[in-house]
Amino acid sequence: MKKRVVIVGMGFGGIRAARALAGHGHELLLVDRNNYHLFQPLLYQVATAALEQESIAHSARALVRHWPGARFQLSEVTGFDLDKRLVLTERGALAYDYLVVGAGSITNFFGMQSVERNAFDLKQLSDGEALRNQILRSFEEAVAELDPVRRKGLMTFVIVGGGPTGVEFAGALIELIHFVLAKDYPELSFKDARVVLVEAANAILGAMPAKLSGYALDKLSDMEVEVRLNARVVDAGPESVILSDGTVIPCHTLVWSAGVKATPLAAALNGASSNAGGRVRVAPDLTLPGHPEVYVIGDMAHLEHDGQALPMVAPVAMQMGEYAGRAILAREKGEELPPFRYRDKGSMATIGRNAAVATAFGMNLRGYLAWLVWLLLHLYYLIGFRNRIVVMLNWAWYYWFHERQVRLITWTKERRRTPPAPP
């Protein structure tokens, strides 16, 4: 019997679920507030002028038209009526027989409102463009700034979080400054430019083996990134960042990559229990307790293996999405899959040109080989043949010429207008 499956979220998990279900005679409806799938692991390269934002996004409708029985709806999901099996959206209610929810995560500022007001993050496509504008505009303002202290603050960038995103962004930013912007702005003294990476733990890339973490730390230090371990940001303003030990760093650009939490939509799953990160606790088969027709996947789902919660990363979301799709098909055949089990294939992070760290299948790689593996895997998982070609050409251009073409400021600060006097 034909069933209707609604998939909320066009992230890594949602796409994998749709692929597993397509062509099996069921009606698929994919709902997202954006009309594209974003390849988030490369968003930091948009922010550092290495890639155009269009090259890491792919049209949702272009994907769906290749999946039999599937269609896409651009809409904001506002809630759920689980008893009536309805997804509530700004365009009205959507009925379902099965529901797969993979709406992802948002940045976690841990309740620090001053940091949230003043920090940039990298979760949405627009975030990459906004951060690139901020970086380039800071150097434009530094050229015209007469106060040397403020000029140095404009050329100082603080990145919070020593995980893969923070490390990759720090390496890309320092290369942009040294190899590209130093030539664009001969008026500036680049000994004043600083990239500061702040990590609360005693090591960066803490999930990796100590040798790889140490290699990354040494490499960043050689690239002149200032790494501050055992340090926390406790306050921030438009022109300064304050650390837990009282250190004040004058800077105009703060980038936050120190944590994520489930999207607020997770709270709309009525009666669902959640942990401190707002994630929804799911059964071993990824269903919502009490509602076996609802699957929660990706960053929204809280599931423990061997006493540890699964990390909020893309590989987990992809495997969960694939499992949810196969589980629905199995149930329609009167079969049952064994509980979901995540297969950890390893992790990796690039530090800069010819330098990366990777751990996979018991092997630890670093340097050029790890960097090459990182390049090939990211090209492989990037969706869209055109996107792969564009990204590969951009990387090749930068590798050979140390030049980044996307140095565009696409917005200007609004001028404050004085209202006209009344007649």
pLDDT digits (tens, 9 = 90+) for 113-143: 999 999 999 999 999 999 999 999 999 999 9
Of residues 66, 68, 58, the one with CA closest to residue 32? 58
pLDDT for residue 411: 79
Angle between helix axes 385-401 and 368-381 (nearest 10 degrees) is: 150
Residues 6 or more apart whose CB falls under 8 angstroms from that of 1 comprise 332
pLDDT digits (tens, 9 = 90+) for 84-108: 999 999 999 999 999 999 999 999 9
pLDDT for residue 404: 86
Q: Give the span between the Cα atoms of 114 and 310, in whole angstroms.
A: 30
Which has more pLDDT, 273 or 246? Answer: 246
pLDDT for residue 416: 33
**φ, ψ of residue 365 in degrees (nearest 5):** -120, 150
Q: Please say if the pLDDT value at position 423 is more than 80.
A: no
Of residues 341, 322, 362, 356, the one with CA closest to residue 14? 322
Mean pLDDT of 180-196: 95
Q: Please say if the pLDDT value at position 355 is more than 70.
A: yes
Mean pLDDT of 42-58: 96
Q: Please say if the pLDDT value at position 413 is more than 70.
A: no
> If pLDDT is split at 50, 70 and 90, which confidence band does 403 have?
confident
Mean pLDDT of 150-179: 97
Mean of per-residue pLDDT scores for the chain: 93
> If pLDDT is split at 50, 70 and 90, which confidence band does 1 have?
confident
Q: Give the span between the Cα atoms of 19 and 85, in whole angstroms.
A: 23
pLDDT for residue 420: 40
pLDDT digits (tens, 9 = 90+) for 290-314: 999 999 999 999 999 988 999 999 9
Mean pLDDT of 348-370: 93
Q: How far is the first Cα of the chain from the last one, in angstroms, to the nearest whole number?
A: 72
pLDDT for residue 273: 64
Mean pLDDT of 57-67: 95
- How many other C-beta atoms can be found within 10 angstroms of the C-beta atom of residue 269? 20
Structural tokens at position 194: 């600083």
Q: Please say if the pLDDT value at position 37 is more than 70.
A: yes
User: Residue ranges of the alpha helices (H) in 284-384?
Assistant: 314-332, 368-381
Which has more pLDDT, 419 or 184? Answer: 184
Domains of the chain: 4-33+75-107+260-332 (3.50.50.60), 113-258+346-401 (3.50.50.100)
Q: Give the span between the Cα atoms of 213 and 215, in whole angstroms.
A: 5
Q: Please say if the pLDDT value at position 405 is more than 90.
A: no
Residues belonging to the active site: 168
pLDDT for residue 362: 80
% of the chain residues with pLDDT over 90? 89
The answer to whether 83 touches 95, Cβ cutoff 8 Å, is: no
The answer to whether 18 touches 61, Cβ cutoff 8 Å, is: no
Which has more pLDDT, 413 or 257? Answer: 257
